[in-house]
Amino acid sequence: MAILELAIAFFVLAIIAGALGAGGVAGLSMDVAKWLVIIFLVLAVLSLVF
């Protein structure tokens, strides 16, 4: 669950950065959050299959 918690933290960081006008930081944070969610989903599916 640590990966999912990190993804949520980066998502919140992206929302705050976007609201404050830091578009570069918001975009980077959303990219990191997206990849962490994808990794979490792949690992969750693998753990259910095996």
- Walk along the chain (50 residues) and give the pLDDT tens digit of each residue: 688 898 889 889 999 999 998 888 888 989 999 999 999 999 999 999 98
Measure CA of the first residue to CA of the last residue in the chain; give whole Å.
18
**Could you tell me the residue range of the domain that residue 22 belongs to?**
2-49
What is the per-residue pLDDT for 42?
94
Which of 34, 14, 35, 33 has its CA nearest to residue 25? 14
Q: Token digits for 5?
A: 């918690």
- The tally of domains found in the chain comes to 1
Q: What is the pTM of this model?
A: 0.77
What is the per-residue pLDDT for 45?
94
What is the per-residue pLDDT for 34?
92
What is the per-residue pLDDT for 48?
93
- Residue 14, classified by CB atoms within 10 Å of its CB into exposed (0-12), middle (13-18) or buried (19+), is buried
